[in-house]
Amino acid sequence: MLQQKSRSPSIWKNTNRGVLQSAPRFWQTWLADTGSLTAKLEQQLNHKLSVQVLVDRNQNVLKNERHFFKRPLRRCRVREVLLSADQTPLVLARSIIPVSSASGSNQFVLKLGRRPLGAVLFARKKGKKHYNEREMICLKQSHPLWQSCKKKYPLLPNKLWARRTLYQLKNHPLLVNEIFLPTLEAKLKELER
C-alpha cells in the first residue's frame, strides 16, 4: 500500500512567541527585523530598489487576511509589487489597505505609483512605524497567498519564507505581506564573496 505524503499546511505564527528559530538562520534576521525592509535591502545591497507594480486595485481579500484585521472587511485596496535590484526580483510584497485606512490625510497610500509602501510609511513622522502584530510563515503551494502570488509572478518557487505585519497609520490598519524570494539569499551571499 502506498502512503500519501503529508501535506502539512502553511500556518502563520506570531513572531513574539519565539518561533523564529524554526526558520533557517539566514531568514531569521529578515523575518524579525522591525525597520523598513526597503531601507534594509538598499543598505545591504548598496543599490536602490526598483518597484514593479503587479496589482493595484480594489478587490476581495483572502480569508486569513480578513481574520488578521480582527474586524469585518470586504473589499480593500490590494497592492502587489515586486522589489528588485539589478533586474533581480528579491521580494514580492502584498499590501491590504482598507477603505477607511486610505481616507482623509491617509489618501497618499493610494497614489504610491512605483514607490514602495514601506519607504513611505517609515519616512513619515510621529510613530507611523509602529505595528500591532507580526507573523511569519513557511509559505507552501497549498496556501492561498502562494496561489494568489503565483498568478502574478509565475517564477514563484514551491516553498519560501514570508512575514506579515499589521501597521497603524494614524490609528488605521494596513497589512503588509512580504514574501522573500530565494534570489535575495543568493544575491546577498554573492556580495559576501
Tell me the domains of the chain and their CATH numbers. 22-192 (3.40.1410.10)
Do 176 and 167 touch, CB atoms closer than 8 A? yes
Q: Which has the closest alpha carbon to 47: 157, 160, 162, 184?
A: 184
DSSP for residue 114: T
pLDDT over 70 at 9, yes or no: no
pLDDT at res. 132? 65
Cβ contacts of residue 50 below 8 Å, gap of 6+? 83, 84, 85, 87, 114
Tens digits of per-residue pLDDT, 122-149?
765 544 445 668 889 999 998 888 888 8
pLDDT at res. 130? 57
Query: How far is it, in rounded angstroms, from Cα 97 to Cα 76?
Result: 6
Residue type, 145: L
| Whole-structure pTM value | 0.86
Query: Average pLDDT over the chain, rounded to whole?
Result: 82
pLDDT over 80 at 168, yes or no: yes
pLDDT at res. 131? 62
Query: How far is it, in rounded angstroms, from Cα 162 to Cα 40?
Result: 16
Secondary structure (H, E, C), 147-188: HHHHHHCCCCCCEEEEEEEEEEECCEEEEEEEEECHHHHHHH
Report H helices in the chain: 25-32, 37-45, 63-69, 117-123, 144-152, 182-192
Query: How far is it, in rounded angstroms, from Cα 107 to Cα 122?
Result: 16
Band of residue 11 on the pLDDT scale cut at 50, 70, 90? confident
Query: How far is it, in rounded angstroms, from Cα 32 to Cα 41?
Result: 14
